[in-house]
Each structure stands twice: as structure tokens, then as C-alpha cells.
Structure 1
Amino acid sequence: MTISDWKRTIYALLALPAYLAGPKARGRLARRWLGAEPGLGGFGAAVAAFPVGLLVWYLVGRIATFGFFWTEAGAAGSWGGPSLLGAWVVHFFCAQGMAVVCMWLLRPLTRWQVRTPDLVDSPHSR
């Protein structure tokens, strides 16, 4: 997971609203987060990328706040329980695996939305 992957997740969340806001918003967003110009199409890719990006940030937020939702009643059925640390570690690694797959899926979805796909994965964008 590189900084480019994290930028793609942010772009995936904002691309669909940017399509609705117009071409200027799409251009600013693509240049800011991907370092590329927006393509002519890509609305379908933006629709598909939105829930994937949302899932990544849900997982990050959920793992970061895992202890706030911990109850002794839920500890017995929790993976890695009965301790909070054990449950957090198990859930962290499960979420990390899911986030890696989601970020891998976002690569082609964001490439379809921009004109110059070479810029998206260039070493200078990391």
C-alpha cells in the first residue's frame, strides 16, 4: 500500500460527487489526487469505485475506534477475544487484507477515469 493507493481511495470517494458537480470539479479533483487529466467517460467506473473507497475508509475508521465499541458481552463471540488486544489484532489483520484487495481493485477503476493512465502509477506520484 503506497501513498498513491491512499490517494486513489480519496479520489474514489470524491469522483462521483465531482461528476455531478461538472467538468471543472472533475478536472481539479483528478489533477489534485491522481496528477492526471480527467477522461471523457468513466462515470460507470466512478460509480463502481465509490463503494470500494468507502469500504476502505470504513475499515480504517472502524479499526481505529475498535476499543470504543468493546463490551464484555461481545467479547465471548469476538474473533481473537476474550481480550480487547487479541480481538483488535485479529480484526486489524482481517481489515488490512480487505483494504489491500480494495486498493488493488481501485487501480483499474481510477485509470478508466483519467486520460493519462501512466501518470497514475508513476514513481513520481508516490
Structure 2
Amino acid sequence: MNIADWKRTIYAVLALPAYLAGPRARRRLAKRWLDAEPRHDGFLAGVAAFPVALLVWYLVGRIATFGFFWTEAGAAGSWGGPSLIGAWAVHFFCALGMSVVCMWLLRPLTRRQVRVPDQVDSTHRT
């Protein structure tokens, strides 16, 4: 997971509403988050990417606030419980694994939505 993967998740969450806002909004969004131009045929990929990106951000938010929802009554049935740190650690690693898979899925889905400018390989000279 690198910064480009996180940018893809932000783009995927915002791309579907940007389709509704029009081509100018899509162009600005693609340029801002992916440094690319939007494709005209990427709507279905945007629909598919939206829930995947939402899942990533839900997992991040849920793990970041895990302790706020902790109760002694729920500790007995919690994975990694009965301690808060044990339950948090188990849930963190489960969420991490799910986030990695989701970000891997977002790569082709966002690539289908935008045209990335040709990059010149510095090792290849013509």
C-alpha cells in the first residue's frame, strides 16, 4: 500500500458523484487525484469501484475508533478478547488484509476509468 493506492480510494469514492456532476467535475477529479484524463466509457467501472473504496474507508474509520465502541459485555465474544488491545490487534490485522485486497481490486477499476499519459522510460532512449 502506497500513496497512489490511497489516492485511488479517494478517487473511487468521489468518481461516481462526479459522473453525476458532469464532465468538468470528472476531469478536475481525475487530474487532481490520479494526474490523468477521464475516459468516457468508465461509468460501470466507477459503479464497481465505489463500494470497494467505501469498504476501505469504513475499515480505516472503524479500526481507528475501535476503542470507543468497546464494552465489557461485548468483550467475551470478541475476537482477540477479553482485552481491548487483543481485540483491537486481531481486528486491525483482519482489516489490513481486507484493505490490501480492496486496494488491489481498485487498481484495474480506476485504470478503466482514466487515461494515464504515456510515461517515458528513462532507461530507454530512441
The TM-score, its normalising length taken from structure 2, stands at: 0.92
Indicate whether 1:28 and 2:28 are aligned.
Answer: yes
CA distance in 2, matches of 1:47, 1:69: 31
CA distance in 2, matches of 1:107, 1:49: 9
SS at match of 2:114: coil
In 2 relative to 1, CA 31–74 (structure 1 residues): closer, same or farther, beyond 3 Å? same
CA distance in 2, matches of 1:88, 1:55: 18
Q: How does 1:37-116 map to 2 (within 5 A)?
A: 37-116=37-116
CA apart distance, 1:20? 0.3
Q: Which amino acid aligns with 2:4?
A: S
Give 1 or 2: higher helix fraction.
1
CA distance in 2, matches of 1:82, 1:117: 52
In 2 relative to 1, CA 118–89 (structure 1 residues): closer, same or farther, beyond 3 Å? farther
CA distance in 1, matches of 2:62, 2:117: 32
8 Å contact 2:35–2:116 — kept in the other structure? no
CA apart distance, 1:117? 6.9
For the aligned residue pairs, the C-alpha RMSD in angstroms reads 1.1
Q: Which amino acid aligns with 2:8?
A: R
8 Å contact 1:43–1:113 — kept in the other structure? yes
8 Å contact 1:111–1:117 — kept in the other structure? no
Superposed structure 1 runs of 4+ greater than 3 Å apart: none
Cα-to-partner distance string for 1:2-25 (whole Å, 9 max, x where unaligned) = 000000000000000000000000
Q: Which has the higher contact order (CA 8 A, sep 6+)?
A: 1
Where in structure 2 are there 5+ consecutive unaligned residues?
120-126
CA distance in 2, matches of 1:101, 1:108: 12
CA apart distance, 1:40? 1.5
Where in structure 1 are there 5+ consecutive unaligned residues?
120-126
SS at match of 1:15: helix
**Which residue is equivalent to 2:124?**
none
More divergent stretch after superposition (21-30 vs 109-118): 109-118
CA apart distance, 1:116? 2.1
